[in-house]
Structure formats: structure tokens, C-alpha cells
Amino acid sequence: MDENELRSLLERVADADMPPSRVDIDRARRTGLWRWRLRRLGAPAASVSVVAVVIGLVVSGALPGIGVSARPGPGTNIPTTHVRPSPAPFNPLVPYATLGWLPNGYSIAPPNNGDSLMGRDEQQIDAVNGAANITVMVFAPGDCRLTGMGSGQARDRGRAICGRRNDPFGLGPIPLLRPIPGVLGGHAWWWGYHPGQKHPGLIYRAAKAWVDIDAALTRAALIRIAAHVTFGTGHPLAFPFRLTGLPSWWSIGQSENIGILGGRLVGTALFTGPAPHYFQVVVGTAPTTMYHSCGRDSGWQWVTVRGRRGILRTVYGNDHFQELCFANINGLMVNVTVNAPRPFTGRPLALATAPGGVIDVFLHHLRLLGPDPANWTTHPVSH
């Protein structure tokens, strides 16, 4: 095959319609990992063998690493700074994008009425008006790409894909209906999930991010929302807990359930771990007025830790993790999860009571700050 034939073949492939995504996009975009896990915990198990385990223990508290992610050996180049968010492109503790205008009746969703998240290269913002919802997704500049837009004939049948490969919170491929002339610097497109959709979505390229807006609003309203999105002006999130004594080479991967509570912009879940396993330890806490049940799913047993009764759950297989849940500790629901790094090597997780296990994290690395957002912290991680 000569060069001309190869170019012709590549152009035909680029312009061809993509197969439909196997990901349920609506569900994935609006489902945070921690809230999804809490909802899954709420489903009663069909058959569970209940074992009462009473744990009265004091375990030495250093967290040397979990499972296969123990401290690197001598000679390994390890950063010496404390647990930290990624320096670029997004900080999971501070909103990169903020909404400057919303239609009448809409406001930023409270944490229990939206699935907002902030990751290292994406952010989701939810605004609500009763049952109506506005979802704004923000992606790092290199995380969105357009296909099928290489010729004049293809301008009205391109595709947009945002997010890393196999990212459940990514976007697309979605069909681009047509570009919007003279709007947002000429870098904006209408899109639709499927024929007959009653309202279009809007995706556009800003100087330092891609932004997608999905809402049952007029096109004029979508454009106005987009025109008032600002970048780099957000305030740090406040959290109802503080994590201490984590390994110095760990980083924050994501925060979730961002919203307004008690007049503060807050987050209620934090994902952290060593690169590239930034989701190895998940801590989620929220006032019991928002979440008040741990549920009893497969692999669970009762535990008592320092006089408090909770549920310890261990799941093996492709979804390999262990979690500890308390329905109410001084007005807070508390959930600590330790996930096996991916790909799973078959090595078991640390025992719950051993350094790096969920009970050890709860006892020696987690400080709860109570249900009042006025007492929450914007510095949730430290040595």
C-alpha cells in the first residue's frame, strides 16, 4: 500500500461513524464513586453469614503502604514533601472552574443532591432547581479531542471524546451537531446524544480547559452559562475530617460530593494513594442528616472498634477492596475504604487491624471534625 492509499484509508476511518459507547454516559457522569458505593451498600444481601467481631486494640500507627504499594526500596527516588494535590492541571481541593451565572431558581447543589467531583484532570459541577439539573463537566486541555472534522463535508457529523481511555466519568463519543459561529471564540459546538433529543448539549474549548454543559435549557441560556464560567478563582473546599500520617509520596486523586452546606463550599469524600493508584484509600464522611445507613451487602460482618459498632466488608475478585462503615459517630456517618491497586496482582490487602488496614486508618490516621461545616477544614491531609 502506497502513501496515498494509506492517507485515503485513514481519512475514511476518521470520517466514519463511531460505534455507540458501551458506557451508560448519563449514569456514569452523574454517579460519584463514594456515593455509588454507599448506595450499593444499602442493598440488602440475599444471604449473609453475620459474624460478631469485637476489636479492642491499639496498633502502632505508621502507614507504610498498602498491599502491593509498600514504601519503595533504597535507591528509589521518592518526593520528600507531604501528601499533596497534583500540581497540574487541576487541584482536587480547589475548584478550577466556577459558575458565574445560573438561570433563575438554580443554585449549586448541596452535597446530598448532586454528584459533583474534582479530580486531577476533570471537574464536575452540579446545579439544581427542584428535579431539574445542570451538569457542567470541565476537562484538562489535552483530555478532549474531536474526530471526523477534517473536511467540509464532515463538519456537521464530527464526534467529541473527553477523558482518559476507559474512564467511567469521561464523555463520549458524542455526535457534534454543528459548530456555533461567532460564539465563545468560534470554538463551540452543539451536540446530541441521540436523534430526537429535545435539547442540545454545548461543548467548547476555553484557553485552559474543555467545558461541556448538559441541561434542559434554551440554547441562549447554555451560551450564557458558558460565557460566565471562570477559571482559577475558586475557594478551597472544607472537609469534615483530617487525615494525618500518610506516606510522604502519596497524592490526592479526587474529592467528591462538592456543594454548598452551611454557607461553605464543602467536600465529603477524598481519594488518595501513591502514583498511579490515587484511589487506594477513600475516606467519606458526611452529616447523618445526609447519609445515615451503612447497609449490609455481601462479605460483611459486624465489628466493634473502641466501643463503636460498625460494619466491616471485604470483597475479593475484580473489585477487590475492604471497607469500614459507621452509621453515626457524633453526628457523622463514616466510611473508610482500602482498594487494591489496579491491575490486581492477587496479593491480599493488609489485615483490617494491621498498618494500612481500614481499622488502622480509622484509628490512627483519621480525625473527625463533627457535623457542623463551620468546624470543617480546608487542609484535610498532612503528615
Q: Using one digit for the tens of pLDDT, what is the confidence trace for 98-141?
A: 999 999 999 998 887 777 889 988 999 999 999 899 999 999 88
The pLDDT, as a whole number, for residue 207 is 85
Cell reading at 164: 482518559
Listed range (14-18, 218-222, 261-265) with the worst mean pLDDT? 14-18
The pLDDT, as a whole number, for residue 197 is 63
252 in Cβ contact with 223 (< 8 Å): no
The mean of the pLDDT values for the chain is 76
Cα–Cα dist 210/220, whole Å? 19
Question: By C-alpha distance, which of 332, 322, 24 is closest to 172?
Answer: 24
159-211, pLDDT tens digit by residue? 888 887 656 567 878 888 777 888 888 889 998 765 666 788 999 999 889 99
30-40, pLDDT tens digit by residue? 334 444 444 33
The pLDDT, as a whole number, for residue 45 is 35
Of the chain, the percentage scoring pLDDT greater than 90 comes to: 39
The pLDDT, as a whole number, for residue 231 is 92
Give the residue with greater pLDDT, 129 vs 22: 129
Phi, psi of 138 (to 5 degrees): -120, 125
Phi, psi of 71 (to 5 degrees): -55, 135
The pLDDT, as a whole number, for residue 66 is 43
Cell reading at 203: 461543548
The pLDDT, as a whole number, for residue 99 is 94
The pLDDT, as a whole number, for residue 167 is 62
The pLDDT, as a whole number, for residue 182 is 83
Q: What is the mean pLDDT of residues 79-99?
A: 70
Give the residue with greater pLDDT, 164 vs 16: 164
**Cis peptide bond prior to 343, omega within 30° of 0:** yes
The pLDDT, as a whole number, for residue 257 is 86
Give the residue with greater pLDDT, 48 vs 88: 88
353-367, pLDDT tens digit by residue? 888 899 999 999 999
Can you give the residue ranges of every domain in the chain? 48-83+236-375, 95-231
282-336, pLDDT tens digit by residue? 999 999 998 878 877 778 899 999 999 999 998 877 678 899 999 999 999 999 9
